[in-house]
Amino acid sequence: MSAASDPPQSTLPYPPLKDKAPFVVLSDWDGTITSFDSNDYLTDNFGMGLEARRKLNIEILHERLTFRDAFQSEMRSIPMTFEECKRIMVRDIRLDPHFVDFEAWCRAHDVPIVIVSSGMEPLIRAVLTSQVGEEDSKRIDIIANTTIVNEDGTWDISYRHPSSGFGHDKSQAILPYRDLPHRPFLFFLGDGVSDLSAARHADLLLVKQKEGGENDLAAYCRREGIPHVLFDDFRGALKVIMGIVQGDMTKEDVLAMGAIKA
């Protein structure tokens, strides 16, 4: 499931590139910025259940099933309206306890944060706004899929890249930075199967460790020989990004660590 040589056509616009910034943070949302994956939460508790979902994830990891098709099956197994799903997410989903401090440091030091998600922008924006407030939420661009909501409240996911097996090929949010005359140093933070399309393309890949053994991105990187560093929370991520931005660490220093200890 590597990114195709011909980029998939996007059905949705992209925000402007952060072309003046020397450093840019691109981060997955679910299970990375959030303490646990909101779509998994809905699927496990209200849809097909944990066991069925994990079977799909393993199929994705071994490239026997596309993320696009598996994720759509998960979302369609949830027998709730869009507004019910949004209400539950806003009520139950929390951010990594150190993300707010991470975002504040990045903002103070002109390091843009862009959320690159295989989830759905309206749900991400609702949760983010509920956690950090509307003003701070607006500062963060979100590149994700969207939703089609019917008059009766039923809904379906609308993919950014419907022709791609990823549904949203996250590499397409990273690769345009390669063509800038003054190319920034790119960090990508992720955790799971939705991040496979992005894993090879940042200057430094930070992989979040998760409880319960669902460390699918880490397993993929080990199998494919993709350099990465593990982190537990955004306190550790900030330690690394601060070190590189301020010139106290190099990429090689970070990768030699293997795992970040906050």
Nearest-angstrom CA–CA distance, 111 and 241 = 10
Task: Tell me the two tokens of residue 8.
Answer: 């998939």
- 211-230 burial, b for 16+ CB within 10 Å, e for fewer? eeebbbbbbbbeeeeeebbb
Q: Which residues are catalytic?
A: 28, 30
